[in-house]
Amino acid sequence: FGRSGHGLVCDMALQLVSVTTQQQLASLVAASPHTEFASACAWPDEVRGQDEFRWSAPHHYVNMPRGEKQVTIEDCPERGCILSAIADMQQRLAADKHDWQALLFLAHHIGDLHQPLHVSYADDLGGNRTAVYFYSHEMPTNLHGVWDTNMLSKLGYDDDYVKQEALFLQLTADNIANWQQGTVLDWANESAALTYDIYQQYRPGMLIDDTYVLQYQPILEQRLQQAAVRLAFLLEQLLTIENAE
Ligand code: ADE
Ligand code: ZN
């Protein structure tokens, strides 16, 4: 996701955790270069190009062979991928609950794991090297950007706080109980199945407009909600429950 997607996921997660966890998150964020958890969750994208954090660049995604609709742990290369990165950052944070970098990587990667094209195919860099148009032939973009940012801004999530709050308020107790089930690999495979579907519809040079955006709106919104519920669940476990004894 781009800034607004990560901000949404982290803002919702913050509202879902206990007050104790909120306080721990606040002190972790205070040690980071950001002042709010929502904006701090985009930090891994700000540093992935810097020498010090170059190792983390391949940890934003995982790719599967073209035509597959499931990933396995074998798809994760030696240098790591989003699946191994999530496991590593969970371990780091469990070992040191003041490790703000581990927190921000974990929160960021849980968001990206739910953006279908971050569980995708290497031959076009997860849709970064596709050519599509968004609403007009004056707006060339690519499938990855459509899912990271274009659709979210079209749907009004960039700066509409009421819209963002609605996504949180729509969550039900059933949603929360159901989405906490499964493993990180299961969550990745929900994205993998969506990615397969997205490529079934993809034609080079296609025009993406209302038909496409309205078709995928409920799915995109549910992915944001699922990411938030699952991030909240993991943070509660890592920061509070395990440290309670
Ligand atoms: N580079 C290669 N594959 C990618 C993906 N799925 N997402 C983002 N960047 C990538
Ligand atoms: Zn992305």
**Residue 138 clears pLDDT 60, i.e. is over it:** yes
* Distance from residue 115's CA to the centre of ligand 2 (Å): 7
What is the average pLDDT score of the chain? Answer: 96
Sheet strands side by side (includes 207-208): 136-141, 132-134, 207-208
Ligand with an atom nearest the CA of residue 117: 1
* Distance from residue 112's CA to the centre of ligand 2 (Å): 6
CA-wise closest residue to 151 among 139, 161, 137, 162: 139
In this prediction, residues 181-206 reach a mean pLDDT of 98
**Residue 36 clears pLDDT 50, i.e. is over it:** yes
Ligand with an atom nearest the CA of residue 150: 2
* Distance from residue 32's CA to the centre of ligand 1 (Å): 26
Question: Which residue has the least CA distance to atom 1 on ligand 1?
Answer: 125
Amino acid making up residue 42:
A
- CA 136, CA 149: separation in Å to the nearest integer? 16
* Distance from residue 41's CA to the centre of ligand 2 (Å): 13
In this prediction, residues 168-182 reach a mean pLDDT of 97
Which domain covers residue 71, as residue numbers? 3-241
Atom of ligand 1 at shortest distance to CA of 117? 6
Cα 60 to Cα 104, 119, 192, 226: the distances in Å are 12, 9, 14, 18
Question: Which residue has the least CA distance to atom 5 on ligand 1?
Answer: 126
Cα 134 to Cα 11, 191, 208: the distances in Å are 27, 22, 5
What residues have their beta carbon closer than 5 A to ion ligand 2?
148
- Ligand 1 pocket member 226 (CB < 6 A): no
Q: What is the pLDDT of residues 106-122, one digit of tens each?
A: 999 999 999 999 999 99
- Ligand 1 pocket member 118 (CB < 6 A): yes
DSSP states of 55-72: GGGGGG-EE--TT-S---
**Can you say whether residue 67 is alpha, beta or left, with left for phi > 0 and alpha for psi between -120 and 50 degrees?**
left
| pLDDT for 245 | 47
Phi, psi of 163 (to 5 degrees): -60, -45
- CA 11, CA 82: separation in Å to the nearest integer? 21
Q: What is the pLDDT of residues 9-19, one digit of tens each?
A: 999 999 999 99
- Ligand 1 pocket member 125 (CB < 6 A): yes
Q: How many domains does the chain have?
A: 1
CATH number, domain at 80? 1.10.575.10
Q: What is the pTM of this model?
A: 0.97
* Interface confidence (ipTM) of the complex: 0.91
**Residue 244 clears pLDDT 70, i.e. is over it:** no
**Residue 69 clears pLDDT 90, i.e. is over it:** yes
| pLDDT for 242 | 59
pLDDT range class, residue 166, cuts 50, 70, 90: very high
